[in-house]
Every structure is written in C-alpha cells, then in structure tokens.
A and B are shown apart, each in its own frame.
Chain A
Amino acid sequence: DTEVTQTPKHLVMGMTNKKSLKCEQHMGHRAMYWYKQKAKKPPELMFVYSYEKLSINESVPSRFSPECPNSSLLNLHLHALQPEDSALYLCASSQNPGTANTGELFFGEGSRLTVL
C-alpha cells in the first residue's frame, strides 16, 4: 500500500462551523505533513509531525489545529475559518525522520475546502 488517503475530498463550511480533515497512510512513514495550496500557487508548508510529535509549525493561525493520534493518522481540525482559507489542503508522508529519510513525499489527493 503506497497510498495516502485523505477525507473528505470536498468540504464546504461556514465561518462558524467546526470540521476536520483526515489523512491516513499505512506505509510505516513516521513524518507526516500538512500543506495548503491556493490555485496556481505552490504548496505552502503548514505543519510537520515527526514520530507523532509536532516538529514544525509555520506560524499557522490557531483556527487550524493539527493532531496526530497515531503513526498512521493525521488530522487537521478547523474552527472559525475565513473565506481566504479556501484552498486545497494536501497531506503527505515520508520515510522515518533522520538520516534514513530520503525526503520523498507521498501526497494524498487533497481535500478541497470552501469557506463561505
């Protein structure tokens, strides 16, 4: 299994809603990532988890809250979002952190979020 699975594929939410994006991989990867991508722009790094611990937080607003419940799962909890947060949210994983990590990212298909 070389897939990263993201759900839901599409999400429409109001500014007062609370929702979550989910990501799952069963490749034994211990580094997992959230990226945000706007149309015709490159992916922007949001968070990195290494061995289920948050290792990078790119000054993302607190209305985005990541969670890594175990080595296979990564969630992104959303609350009180703004219309400008509408984007494609990409989850990725890579091999075990450290010297063995080649850095190749395996991306999910993304969750397309629309905030009304």
Chain B
Amino acid sequence: GQNIDQPTEMTATEGAIVQINCTYQTSGFNGLFWYQQHAGEAPTFLSYNVLDGLEEKGRFSSFLSRSKGYSYLLLKELQMKDSASYLCAAFNNNDMRFGAGTRLTVKP
C-alpha cells in the first residue's frame, strides 16, 4: 500500500523561507517528486530525489532520507506567485502517487 502525508496548509511571508515536509510509506520506491499546482492549472514539476541528500534548483531545494521515508521542499526568497499547492509524490515503476498537497499562502 501507499501512504503519503504532508501538512494541509501553511502560511509564510514574502521574502521568507518555508519548508514543506512529506513522509511516505510505499511498497516500492524509485523516487520522490515535488510538483507545484496553481488553482485551476495542471501540476508542474519542481524537483525529484532518488538518492539521499539535497537537490538544489534555484530558489527551490528538496531533501530525501530513504531510510526515514522523509522528504522536504525548501522554498527561499518567497514571492507572492509561490502561493500554490505543493504536491509530494512517490514514484515506483510508472506508478506516481500524490500526497494530499500543501496549500501555501504567501502574504506581503
């Protein structure tokens, strides 16, 4: 079975840093993905981790610990346009399962 947990909502201030956590339990695992989804739009790929450690892509970084079943997405220098849902997803052999998503609101 698959179980992916992440906080439902978070609020942060423009210019700040926010960390969105994700824990997962899956029967198979090839990678952990983060997607961003604005209201009314399709999800867009942000980052993925296969091996333990930190992957950095500009203002976004993602971390994975396979032994702990844990990942986080770090967003730096928050901008208003970062207000969106952030979906954690576990991938295994063409099977991509999403967590419930974290709705991030960035305030001025």
Kindly state whether residue A21 has any CB partner on chain B within 8 Å. Answer: no
Q: Does B70 contact A (CB under 8 A)?
A: no
* Interface-facing stretch out of A12-20, A48-56, A65-73, A75-83: A48-56
A41 (CB) vs chain B CBs: closest residue: B100
**B42 in complex: contacting residue of A31, A55, A90, CB < 8 Å:** A90
> Quick check: A108 and B100 within 8 Å, CB to CB?
no
- For residue B95, CB closer than 8 A to chain A, the reply is yes
Docked-complex contact B44 and A103, CB < 8 angstroms: no
Chain B residues, Cβ within 8 Å of A101: 94
Chain B 77-97, CB-CB to A under 8 Å as 1, else 0, gives: 000000000010001011111
Q: Which secondary structure dominates where chain B touches chain A? A: strand
Among A62-116, those with CB < 8 Å from B are: 90, 92, 94, 97, 101-110
B42 adjacent to A103 (CB under 8 Å): no
Asked if B99 and A42 sit within 8 Å, CB to CB, the answer is yes
| Total chain A interface residues with beta-carbon distance under 8 A | 26
Q: Is B98 an interface residue (CB 8 A)?
A: yes
Question: In the complex, what residues of A have CB within 8 A of residue B98's CB?
Answer: 42-45
B15 sits at the interface (CB 8 A) = no
With A102-B48, A104-B45, A107-B42 in contact, do A42 and B101 touch (Cβ < 8 Å)? yes
Please give, as numbers and ranges, the residues of chain A lying within 8 Å of B103 by CB-CB distance.
40
Minimum Cβ distance to chain B for residue A50 (Å): 5
Q: With the chains together, A94 CA to B96 CA distance in Å? A: 10
What are the nearest 9 A-B pairs in CB distance?
A107-B42, A103-B91, A42-B98, A42-B101, A31-B94, A104-B45, A103-B31, A97-B94, A48-B94
